[in-house]
Amino acid sequence: MTIKLKLLRTQAGMTLEELAQATELTRSYVSKVERGLANPSVGVALKLAKALRLPVDELFGQTSNESPVTITRAEQSKARNPEEGSPRLVAGNAPGQRVVAFVLQPGREKGLGHLMSHHEGEELIYVLSGSVNLELDDKTETLAPGDCAHFNASVPHRLICTSEKPAEVLLVIAGI
């Protein structure tokens, strides 16, 4: 997303400072995302897309087609930086779609790189492998493979991997 974000920001006529303010992120963090030094979470990607008035797939460089049916092949949904746990956009890459789906590997640590996320719409999390803690505002739920959580995405939330091996989850966001 490095060069693509800067290009999209420039095309939108926004300064780095304006984009940071519109997304409630720091100028430093947005700059790091633009330069490929920080990997944005799904929540951050949604905020960036909203501020730029673009579908989220534009940030990931996905192409769209005019068919009412969209097929995303496995080779098209590869993560940009799989070793860093980048989310893979697996659905929602056509214009006008109100559902976006990612497969991601949640991190293990809390802190600056793993802030609570919140955004418009609803979110559904289905655990494919490993186990995760889903922190919702002031509540924590442990989810194992096959477990599913569905909630209002405006509630502050984050996922933390709790298994020895990396966990993998399907994250579906609707109503964005």
**Span 82-133, pLDDT tens digits:** 555 567 777 766 666 678 888 888 888 765 455 678 778 889 999 999 999 9
Mapping DSSP onto H, E and C, the string for 83-130 reads HHCCCEEEECCCCCCCEEEEEECCCCCCECCECCECCCCEEEEEEEEC
**Sheet with 157-161: strands ordered across:** 139-143, 132-136, 157-161
Q: What is the pLDDT of residues 35-77, one digit of tens each?
A: 888 878 888 888 898 899 887 777 766 544 455 566 667 666 6
Residue 69 inside a domain? The answer is: no
pTM of the full structure: 0.63
Which residue range forms the structural domain that includes residue 113?
Answer: 75-174
Question: How many domains would you assign to the chain?
Answer: 2
Residue 92 inside a domain? The answer is: yes
Residue 43 inside a domain? The answer is: yes
CA distance 77 to 93: 10
Q: Which two tokens stand for residue 108?
A: 């293990």
- Residue 18: DSSP 8-state: H
Q: Of 17, 34, 59, which residue is a domain's last?
A: 59
Are 154 and 118 in contact by the 8 Å Cβ rule? The answer is: yes
CATH number of the domain that residue 54 is part of: 1.10.260.40
Question: Is the same domain home to 18 and 98?
Answer: no
